[in-house]
Amino acid sequence: MKKPMLFFALLLVLASCVSGEPKPIQLNTDACDFCKMTISNGQYGAELITQKGRYYKFDDVACMIHFAKSNTVVPYKAFFVSDYLMANTLIPAEKSFFLQGGTINSPMHGNAIAFTSEKEAKDYQSKYKAALLTWKELYSSY
Amino acid sequence: MKNSLYIACCLFAFQLMMANTIHVGSHYPVKSIKKAIALAVDGDTVMVHKGLYREGNIVIYKKIAFLGKDYPVLDAQKKGEVLSVKADSVVVQGFKIINSGFAALDDPCGIKVYNKKFVQIYNNRLDNNFFGIYLQNCSNCIVKGNHIVSHGTQEQLIGNGVHCWKSDNLQIIANTISGHRDGIYFEFVTNSVIWRNISAQNIRYGLHFMFSNDDSYITNLFKNNGAGVAVMFSKEVKMINNTFEENWGDSAYGLLLKEIADGYIFNNKFVKNTSGIYMEGTSRMKVEKNDFISNGWGMKIQASCMDNEIVNNNYLKNTFDISTNGSLVLNTFNSNYWDKYEGYDLDKNGVGDVPYHPLSLFAVLTEKNASTMLLYRSFMITLLDKSEKVLPSITPDNFVDKTPLMKSLPL
């Protein structure tokens, strides 16, 4: 009786691995898969999941986009970015609102930050003198 | 001519007579540092005596010498910046500066210099600040003999020890830095020198270059950091006589070179690192007379590197001396000493008669598939390695040192 349960539990665990949920970035331990730098700031991080369920972590949104553009063969499943206001929390890139440029200073000078709501982004827009962008606009800007 | 010199001397003496010293302390009429700075004029000295000063953010906006006697403590009580320098030619010396604020949005520092020239920061002790010393848009400044400590844990957001941004002609000398994110961080800094510093136990790098050209770092010790030194997107960086020690970890390096060119790596010691040097997108570097001792990998040279010259180095007791990820070899190896070399020297000229292939089969295999490491030192692998030496098939055959040395160089 117990063994099938265990089997199902294992199956569940395995299934959850490819569910497209982001894996949290381990600050100061994980290295950026594009620039090889150790990721140490949870405000600018990003993560990419491929169709096969491989995870790639980045210290800057620009690194992720450069990485995605350099490997055109790989089918991507999802893009995640760190919420600027919540330390090291990953949110889906397509639903995020981005600020780029101005006085923003990110680790690899992509100089883009992400917010969950448009209101939050607008609150910071004047402070950083940055441009408000959608994910698509940001993706094509690098 | 003589007259004008005389007048100049007189003026100088006059200046000296006019310069006042304002004492601050519990036994002196002036009890507050802010009041003393308000009283001072350009050229004055503010001498702060021993004691605890909790005055929030202290701003120096006049050309003064700001000196501490017996390390008076400036405590910001975790609110904002401790000391802000907003005038040229300020000297800050002999303070204990503690507890700046920790913020994610603006970067509060122990000492921050804003867009100024000829500022000198000597012999201070900084403890538990977000950023230690921050030079923003400065030139001709000296940071010397400071002791910078922070107590960051892995998860916490923590700033850099000495952070220099968009600056020129700096001297960072004989500082001790630990517990910060990067010990020393150079971003858009040119024509500067980093000399005789000790950077240990920092969370990310001991020293980090980004977009900084024409700098050199000489005789520093980088020990036990997340990774030793990272030089990225920079040109003409000279790295001389440094020690890179015990930078262990999964993605740790003694020295990480990424997208750099025209540098010079001379007379350094790489001891007990996961990888001594990791090179990617690196070109026209000369690596000369370095010791690579007891590293996991002596050097990892990715196939994206070209025209690098690796000459007269010692490779001793490394698990792998060299590793690469492709078959393209555009770098040259000449006259190095390899302790794994098994050739002979019949003409006794000190140079081995048989060329040495430093890239072992197993190094190539582990680069492609890390779990092959399980088979390290197994009989099969040793056999394969030997046969590969005779007839190279997997390892690129132009990856070769044609003049390997028989004896290690005395470095």
Query: Alpha helix locations (H) across B301-408?
Result: 361-368, 379-390
A30: which chain B residues are within 8 Å (Cβ-Cβ)?
251
If phi > 0 it is left, if psi is from -120 to 50 it is alpha, else beta; for residue B70 that is left
What is the structure's pLDDT at A142?
A: 83
Express the helix, strand and coil content of chain A in percent, nearest 5 each.
35, 25, 45
In terms of DSSP bridges, do strands B131-136 and B109-114 run parallel, antiparallel, or are they unpaired?
Answer: parallel
Summarize pLDDT for A69-82 with one digit per residue, the tens: 887 667 888 899 99
**Distance of residue A60 Cα from the nearest chain B Cα, in angstroms:** 14
Handedness of CA B168, B276, B203, A64 (dihedral sign): positive
What is the structure's pLDDT at B193?
A: 96
A87: which chain B residues are within 8 Å (Cβ-Cβ)?
104, 157
**How many residues can be counted in chain B?**
411
Q: Can you point out the beta strands (E) in B5-153?
A: 21-24, 45-48, 52-53, 58-60, 65-68, 73-75, 83-85, 91-93, 96-98, 109-114, 120-122, 125-127, 131-136, 142-144, 147-149
A14 has a pLDDT exceeding 60? no
What is the structure's pLDDT at B119?
A: 96
Residue in chain A closest to B230 (alpha carbons) equals A37
Which residues of chain B carry a pLDDT beneath 70? 1-18, 104, 154-155
Name the pTM for this structure.
0.86
Instruction: Name B401's bridge partners.
Output: B333, B356
- The closest alpha carbon to B217, from B179, B164, B280, B278, belongs to B164
Best of A25, A33, A36, A38 to substitute, by most chain B Cβ atoms within 10 angstroms, is A38
**DSSP states along B353-382:** SS-B--S-HHHHHHHH-GGGGGGTT-HHHH
Summarize pLDDT for A36-92 with one digit per residue, the tens: 888 888 889 999 998 888 899 999 999 999 998 887 667 888 899 999 888 788 999
CB A100 within 8 A of CB A129: no
Whole-number Cα distances in Å, A81 to A55, A65, B215: 13, 11, 34
Summarize pLDDT for A120-132 with one digit per residue, the tens: 888 888 888 899 9
B250: which chain A residues are within 8 Å (Cβ-Cβ)?
29, 31
Whole-number Cα distances in Å, B3 to B7, B17, B290: 6, 21, 57
Q: Can you point out the beta strands (E) in chain A?
A: 46-50, 55-58, 76-82, 90-92, 97-100, 112-115, 131-133
B157 to A38: CB separation less than 8 angstroms, yes or no:
no
B205 to A38: CB separation less than 8 angstroms, yes or no:
yes
**Distance of residue B97 Cα from the nearest chain A Cα, in angstroms:** 25
Whole-number Cα distances in Å, A54 to A36, A49, A69, A74, B136: 17, 6, 17, 10, 40
Which of A 8-67 lie inside 8 A of B, CB atoms?
Answer: 27-31, 35-38, 40-43
- The Cα–Cα gap between B409 and B194 comes to 27
Which of B 303-342 lie inside 8 A of A, CB atoms?
Answer: none
CB B161 within 8 A of CB B202: yes
ipTM exceeds 0.90, yes or no: no
- The Cα–Cα gap between B183 and B162 comes to 6
Give the SS3 label for residue B118: coil
Whole-number Cα distances in Å, B23 to A81, B15, B40: 53, 19, 11
B230 to A37: CB separation less than 8 angstroms, yes or no:
yes
Residue linked to tokens 């002790």: B125
Residue linked to tokens 């002791």: B147
CB B158 within 8 A of CB B180: yes
Q: Any CB–CB contact under 8 A between B347 and chain A?
A: no
What is the structure's pLDDT at B385?
A: 82
Residue A131 has phi, psi (to 5 degrees) of: -95, 140
A29: which chain B residues are within 8 Å (Cβ-Cβ)?
154, 249-250
| Residue B390: count of CB within 10 angstroms of its CB | 6
**Distance of residue A19 Cα from the nearest chain B Cα, in angstroms:** 26
B204 to A28: CB separation less than 8 angstroms, yes or no:
yes
- In this complex, the residue of B226, B232, B278 whose CB is nearest that of residue A38 is B226
- In this complex, the residue of B155, B226, B256 whose CB is nearest that of residue A36 is B256
Residue B221 has phi, psi (to 5 degrees) of: -115, 125
Quick one: which H or E segment has residue B300?
A: strand B297-301
Region A107-135: mean pLDDT is 89
CB–CB contacts below 8 A, A to B: 39
Give the SS3 label for residue B62: coil
The encoded tokens of residue B56 equal 């929030």
- In this complex, the residue of B203, B211, B251 whose CB is nearest that of residue A31 is B251
**Distance of residue A28 Cα from the nearest chain B Cα, in angstroms:** 6
B227: which chain A residues are within 8 Å (Cβ-Cβ)?
38
A41: which chain B residues are within 8 Å (Cβ-Cβ)?
157
- The Cα–Cα gap between B321 and B340 comes to 9
- In this complex, the residue of A35, A87, A109 whose CB is nearest that of residue B258 is A35
**Distance of residue A33 Cα from the nearest chain B Cα, in angstroms:** 11
Instruction: Name B277's bridge partners.
Output: B255, B299
**DSSP secondary structure code for residue B156 in this structure:** S
A38: which chain B residues are within 8 Å (Cβ-Cβ)?
204-205, 226-227, 251
- In this complex, the residue of A28, A42, A87 whose CB is nearest that of residue B226 is A28
The percent of residues in chain A predicted with pLDDT above 70, rounded, is 85
Which of B 214-253 lie inside 8 A of A, CB atoms?
Answer: 226-227, 230, 232, 249-251
Which of B 125-164 lie inside 8 A of A, CB atoms?
Answer: 154-155, 157
- In this complex, the residue of A37, A40, A87 whose CB is nearest that of residue B203 is A40
What is the structure's pLDDT at B271?
A: 95
- The Cα–Cα gap between B96 and B93 comes to 9
**Distance of residue A55 Cα from the nearest chain B Cα, in angstroms:** 16
